Amino acid sequence: MTDPHTIESAPATQSERAALLTLMRDELAGRFDQITRLMGLTWPQFEALYESRGDVRTLKCSGARVGYYWIEQRGRELHLHALFVLPEHRGRGVGSAALRGLEEEFLGSVDVIELGVEQDNSRAKSLYERCGFQVTRVLPELGFEIMRKRLGGEPAK
Which tens digits make up the pLDDT trace of 8-38? 999 999 999 999 999 888 887 777 777 787 7
Per the document, the length of the chain is: 157
Residues 33 and 35: their CA atoms lie apart, in Å, by 5
Q: Can you give the pTM of this predicted structure?
A: 0.88
- The mean pLDDT of 26-54, rounded to a whole number, is 83
When pLDDT is cut at 50, 70 and 90, the band that residue 3 belongs to is low
Distance between CA atoms of residues 48 and 32, nearest Å: 15
Structural domains in the chain, CATH included, are 4-150 (3.40.630.30)
pLDDT at 69 over 50: yes
pLDDT for 40 equals: 85
The whole-number pLDDT of residue 1 equals 45
Rounded average pLDDT over 30-59: 86
Mean pLDDT of the chain: 89
Beta strands per DSSP E along the chain: 7-11, 55-61, 64-74, 77-85, 112-118, 134-139, 144-150
What does the pLDDT average to over 49-77?
95
CB 125 within 8 A of CB 117: yes
